[in-house]
Amino acid sequence: MQKLTPGMKNLIGNNLGYVATVDENGDPDIGPKMSITVLDDSHLMYYERTARQTLHNLRANGKLVIAVADLKTKKGYRFHGPVTLHEGMDDPIYARAIEYADAHQLKHPAVVPVMEITRIDWLDAGPKAGTIYSQD
């Protein structure tokens, strides 16, 4: 399990992130998720609201990549890891997401994917781009 630095947490909290998955045929899918947040030092989560291709892919193989970058500084990271899907009011993470959505008049998520970060890549412009920052 990899640990997020304070700088990574700040980047995630202040920029739009994209999630990427692959289906059972190896076809990629990518989309922006405005709800990506830090759950703790080693986990990221977001609210899966559309419940279409991305959710289908997560149910099929549980693999997720989240990319977040800052356009101004041209720095960013790509986070990799397996996902656990949280759903149903008996799940504390899902229940907390519903409470937050209700308090902020947001659409309820279908599920809340939580990624355990096992690898982090650099997304900085220049020679480090795409190289491994750290991994298990």
What are the backbone dihedrals phi and psi of residue 130, each rounded to the nearest 5 degrees, phi first? 80, 0
pTM of the model: 0.93
1 in a structural domain:
no
Q: To the nearest 10°, report the CA torsion of 13, 63, 119, 19.
A: -30
95 in a structural domain:
yes
Categorise residue 96: left if φ over 0, alpha if ψ from -120 to 50, beta otherwise: alpha
pLDDT at 100 over 90: no
From the centroid of its chain, how far is CA 83? 9
Whichever domain contains 27, its CATH number is 2.30.110.10
Q: Residue 91 is part of which domain span?
A: 6-135
pLDDT digits (tens, 9 = 90+) for 41-63: 999 999 999 899 999 999 999 99
Residue pair 59/53 in contact (Cβ under 8 Å)? The answer is no
> What is the C-alpha separation between 15 and 18, in angstroms, rounded?
10
User: What is the tally of structural domains in the chain?
Assistant: 1
> What is the C-alpha separation between 64 and 77, in angstroms, rounded?
14
- Report the pLDDT averaged over residues 75-90: 97
- Report the pLDDT averaged over residues 14-35: 95
83 in a structural domain:
yes
> What is the C-alpha separation between 6 and 17, in angstroms, rounded?
17
pLDDT digits (tens, 9 = 90+) for 31-46: 999 999 999 999 999 9
* pLDDT confidence band for 66 (50 / 70 / 90): very high
